[in-house]
Chains A and B, each alone.
Chain A
Amino acid sequence: MIDETRLIEIKGVSKSFGDTQVLHDIDLYIRKREFVTLLGPSGCGKTTLLRILGGFEMPSTGEVLFEGKDMTGIPPYKRRINTVFQKYALFNHLNVFDNIAFGLNLKTPEQLGCKSRAEMKQEVARRVNRMLKLVKMEGYEKRSTNALSGGQQQRIAIARALVNEPEVLLLDEPLGALDLKLRKEMQLELKAMQQQLGITFIYVTHDQEEALTMSDTIVVMNHGRIQQIGDPKGIYDEPRNAFVADFIGESNIIDGTMLQDDLVRFSDTEFQCVDEGFAKNEPVDVVIRPEDIMLVGEDVGMLRGVVESVIFKGVHYEMIIESNDCKWKVQSTTMQPVGTRVGMTIVPYNIHIMHKMPVLKEA
Chain B
Amino acid sequence: MKRSWYAAPYGLWMVLFTVVPLLFVLYYAFTDQSGAFTVNNFVKIASPMYGLVLWDSLRLAFFCTLLCLLIGYPTAYFLASRDFSNAQTLVVLILVPMWMNFLLRTYAMMTLFENNGVINTLLESLGLQRIQMIGTEGAVLVGMVYNFLPFMVLPVYTVLKKMDYSVIEAAEDLGASPVRVVSRVVLPMSIPGVVSGITMVFMPAVTTFAISRMLSSGMIYLVGDMIEDYFIAMNNRNVGSTISLVMLVLIILSIGLLRKVDPDNSGGGLW
Nearest chain A CB to B169 CB, angstrom units? 6
Q: Contact check, A89 vs B174: say whether CB atoms are below 8 A apart.
A: no
5 contacts between A and B (CB under 8 A): A77-B176, A90-B170, A93-B188, A102-B176, A164-B175
Chain B residue contacts of A83, Cβ below 8 A: 169-170, 173
- Number of B interface residues, CB 8 Å? 18
Query: With the chains together, A91 CA to B184 CA distance in Å?
Result: 10
Query: With the chains together, A106 CA to B170 CA distance in Å?
Result: 13
Q: Contact check, B174 vs A82: say whether CB atoms are below 8 A apart.
A: yes
Q: Contact check, B174 vs A102: say whether CB atoms are below 8 A apart.
A: yes
Q: Contact check, A89 vs B188: say whether CB atoms are below 8 A apart.
A: no
B258 at the interface (CB under 8 A from A): no
Q: Contact check, A75 vs B172: say whether CB atoms are below 8 A apart.
A: yes
Chain A residues near B (Cβ < 8 Å): 54-56, 75-77, 81-83, 85-87, 89-94, 102-103, 106-107, 160-161, 164
Contact for B189 among A76, A85, A91, A103, CB less than 8 A: A91
| Majority secondary structure, A binding face | loop
Chain B residue contacts of A82, Cβ below 8 A: 173-174
Chain A residue contacts of B175, Cβ below 8 A: 77, 103, 106-107, 164
Query: With the chains together, A193 CA to B169 CA distance in Å?
Result: 24
Query: With the chains together, A106 CA to B177 CA distance in Å?
Result: 9
Given contacts A92-B189, A93-B189, A106-B180, contact A87 B173 (CB under 8 A): no
Q: Which of B170-217 contact A (CB under 8 A)?
A: 170-177, 180, 184-185, 188-189, 191
B71 at the interface (CB under 8 A from A): no
Instruction: Specify the chain B residue showing the minimal Cβ separation from A93.
Output: B188
B167 at the interface (CB under 8 A from A): yes
Q: Contact check, B169 vs A89: say whether CB atoms are below 8 A apart.
A: yes
Q: Contact check, A161 vs B174: say whether CB atoms are below 8 A apart.
A: yes
| Supplied contacts A94-B188, A107-B175, 13 more A-B pairs, CB within 8 Å | A54-B169, A85-B166, A85-B169, A86-B166, A89-B169, A90-B170, A91-B167, A91-B171, A91-B185, A103-B174, A106-B180, A161-B174, A164-B175
Instruction: Specify the chain B residue showing the minimal Cβ separation from A106.
Output: B175
B83 at the interface (CB under 8 A from A): no
Q: Contact check, A93 vs B191: say whether CB atoms are below 8 A apart.
A: yes
Chain A residue contacts of B169, Cβ below 8 A: 54, 56, 76, 83, 85, 89
Contact for B164 among A56, A76, A77, A87, CB less than 8 A: A87
Query: With the chains together, A186 CA to B31 CA distance in Å?
Result: 72
Q: Contact check, B174 vs A106: say whether CB atoms are below 8 A apart.
A: yes
Instruction: Specify the chain B residue showing the minimal Cβ separation from A79.
Output: B173
Chain B residue contacts of A76, Cβ below 8 A: 169, 172-173
Query: With the chains together, A94 CA to B170 CA distance in Å?
Result: 14
6 closest pairs, A vs B, by CB?
Answer: A103-B174, A89-B166, A89-B170, A76-B172, A93-B188, A83-B173
Q: Contact check, A77 vs B173: say whether CB atoms are below 8 A apart.
A: yes
Nearest chain A CB to B176 CB, angstrom units? 6
Contact for A77 among B167, B172, B188, B189, CB less than 8 A: B172
Chain A residue contacts of B180, Cβ below 8 A: 106
Chain A residue contacts of B171, Cβ below 8 A: 91, 102
Nearest chain B CB to A33 CB, angstrom units? 21
Instruction: Specify the chain A residue showing the minimal Cβ separation from B185.
Output: A91
Instruction: Specify the chain A residue showing the minimal Cβ separation from B264.
Output: A146
Chain B residue contacts of A90, Cβ below 8 A: 167, 170
Nearest chain B CB to A98 CB, angstrom units? 10
Q: Contact check, A106 vs B166: say whether CB atoms are below 8 A apart.
A: no
Given contacts A91-B189, A93-B191, contact A106 B176 (CB under 8 A): yes
Chain A residue contacts of B188, Cβ below 8 A: 93-94
Instruction: Specify the chain B residue showing the minimal Cβ separation from A75.
Output: B172
Chain B residue contacts of A55, Cβ below 8 A: 172-173
Nearest chain B CB to A220 CB, angstrom units? 26
Query: With the chains together, A299 CA to B157 CA distance in Å?
Result: 76
Query: With the chains together, A190 CA to B66 CA distance in Å?
Result: 49
What 1/0 mask marks residues of chain B from 141 to 173 whose CB sits below 8 Å from any chain A CB?
000000000000000000000001011011111
Query: With the chains together, A107 CA to B176 CA distance in Å?
Result: 9
Instruction: Specify the chain A residue showing the minimal Cβ separation from B192.
Output: A93
Nearest chain A CB to B211 CB, angstrom units? 36
Query: With the chains together, A10 CA to B180 CA distance in Å?
Result: 30
Query: With the chains together, A106 CA to B166 CA distance in Å?
Result: 19
Chain A residue contacts of B177, Cβ below 8 A: 77
Nearest chain A CB to B59 CB, angstrom units? 31
